[in-house]
Amino acid sequence: MKIYLKIWRQKNSNTPGKMVDYSLDKIIPEMSFLEMLDVLNETLLKKGQEPVAFDHDCREGICGMCSLYINGRPHGPDEGVTACQLHMRHFKDGDTIYIEPWRAKAFPVLKDLIVDRSAFDRIIQAGGYISVNTGSAPDANAIPIPNNNVKVAFEAADCIGCGACVAACKNASAMLFVAAKVSHLALLPQGKVEKQLRVEKMVAQMDKEGFGSCTNTGACSYECPKNISLSHIARLNREYLSASILNEAI
């Protein structure tokens, strides 16, 4: 099939970008979206033109690198998938596809479709870990954990940090990402020791990075490729309120 592409091209963070038109023939429905971009880049290289820069790594929906805004939606029209898991069968012959990078102040464009998502790394560095000395690994059944806690913690741990929640939010909020990281540690015994300090540090870093406030519209959860629930944001708010009250008491 033949498709028409409108792709955001930007040389670097300091240079204005623009949408550039391309067209491709003989695209097969079984191709992944990133394979289609590979074909485009091969075509551009043969013509002596600059290929389109885009992030990718595992191409298995695990790493979260393939952060693309496709036809106005993070990761494209399919649900519960990353851009690398999206296939061209979701488009029709003659379709025009708009491809853009994430749009957020905290995610500046580096080149073309690549954005700097190191803000997420700094949030994790601020407190998204367990630093207490727990000794050697205990037996799996040594610390009983309620089954529901395990289930919810694993759901939160599914977050791959792709940034789709930020891209989907009209305020570019990172609440779902931070909530997932806070939630899965707060639910486990090993993470409870530092939970007050963790949530305060991570929320403070999130605000420092320039992410917006939560809109409560649910767009983040809807567009999340791992279907992270909004209930984690509620838990984040409870943990933060609890930590604030304890600090005032002290």
C-beta separation of 97 from 71 below 8 A? yes
Residue-level pLDDT at 143: 81
State pTM to two decimals: 0.92
Helix then strand count (H, E) for the chain reads: 9, 7
Least confident range of 62-76, 96-110, 144-158: 144-158
Q: Domain spans of the chain?
A: 3-110, 118-249
Q: CA nearest 206: which of 177, 186, 231, 183?
A: 177
The pLDDT of 74-94, averaged and rounded, is 96
Q: What percent of the chain has pLDDT over 90?
A: 86
The pLDDT of 114-122, averaged and rounded, is 97
- Is the domain 118-249 a CATH 3.40.1260.10 member? no
The third-level CATH classification (topology) of the domain covering 3-110 is Ubiquitin-like (UB roll) (3.10.20)
d(CA 36, CA 199): 41
Write out pLDDT tens, residues 180-233: 999 999 998 888 889 999 999 999 999 999 999 999 999 999 999 999 999 999
132 band by pLDDT with thresholds 50, 70 and 90: confident
d(CA 28, CA 33): 11
148's CB contacts (< 8 A; 6+ apart) are: none
Long-range contacts of 75-81 (CB under 8 A, 24+ apart): 75/162, 75/164, 75/223, 75/225, 76/33, 80/225, 80/226, 80/227, 81/225
Q: Is the pLDDT of residue 133 over 80?
A: no
Q: Is the pLDDT of residue 24 over 80?
A: yes
User: Between 131 and 37, whose confidence is greater?
Assistant: 37
User: Between 133 and 170, whose confidence is greater?
Assistant: 170
Q: Give the three-state DSSP class for 5.
A: strand
Q: Is the pLDDT of residue 130 over 90?
A: no
141 band by pLDDT with thresholds 50, 70 and 90: confident
C-beta separation of 102 from 67 below 8 A? yes
Residue-level pLDDT at 134: 65
**pLDDT, the chain, mean:** 94
Q: Is the pLDDT of residue 247 over 80?
A: no
Residue-level pLDDT at 249: 61
C-beta separation of 170 from 225 below 8 A? no
Write out pLDDT tens, residues 156-182: 999 999 999 999 999 999 999 999 999
